[in-house]
Amino acid sequence: QVQMVESGGGLVQARGSLRLSCAASRLPFSRYTMAWFRQAPGKEREFVALISRSGESSRYADSLKGRFTISRDNDQNTVTLQMNNLVPEDTAVYFCAANASVLMSVTTRVYDYWGQGTQITVSS
């Protein structure tokens, strides 16, 4: 079965940085658009960032652009989210997702596989 495992979550102070990684297995990684979503308590799951199959293109939520950077390594089957200048509003469970569609979608329902999520808590 497809496996998606996030790592790197934890507690960080405001203005700090954190890097999340997602390791995927048992899927043709390079043929999937990869994305990060997050869900805060009492909130709907929201789009964070995505990256194309080749890594040539990326897209970010407007409110996060400039602070977050997504990247991927198709040899390692990993996707990474670098988060800088964190604020308490970034506190959420962050999910890695894979999408086999040719479209780079920000909509959760088109993503085929999801990790279990990793908790990021920004204190201050």
- pLDDT, position 89: 96
- pLDDT, position 123: 97
- pLDDT, position 104: 85
For the segment 32-89, what is each residue's pLDDT rounded down to a tens digit? 999 999 999 999 999 999 999 999 999 999 999 899 999 999 999 999 999 999 999 9
pLDDT at 12 over 80: yes
For the segment 87-109, what is each residue's pLDDT rounded down to a tens digit? 999 999 999 999 998 778 999 99
- pLDDT, position 68: 98
pLDDT at 19 over 90: yes
Element (H, E) at 43: none
pLDDT at 124 over 80: yes
Give the count of beta carbons closer than 10 Å to the beta carbon of residue 51.
23
Cβ within 8 Å of residue 75, ≥6 positions away: none
Burial call 77-103: b when 16+ CB within 10 Å, e when fewer: bbbbbebeebeeebbbbbbbbbbeeee
- pLDDT, position 102: 72
Nearest to 45 by CA among 100, 115, 104, 103: 115
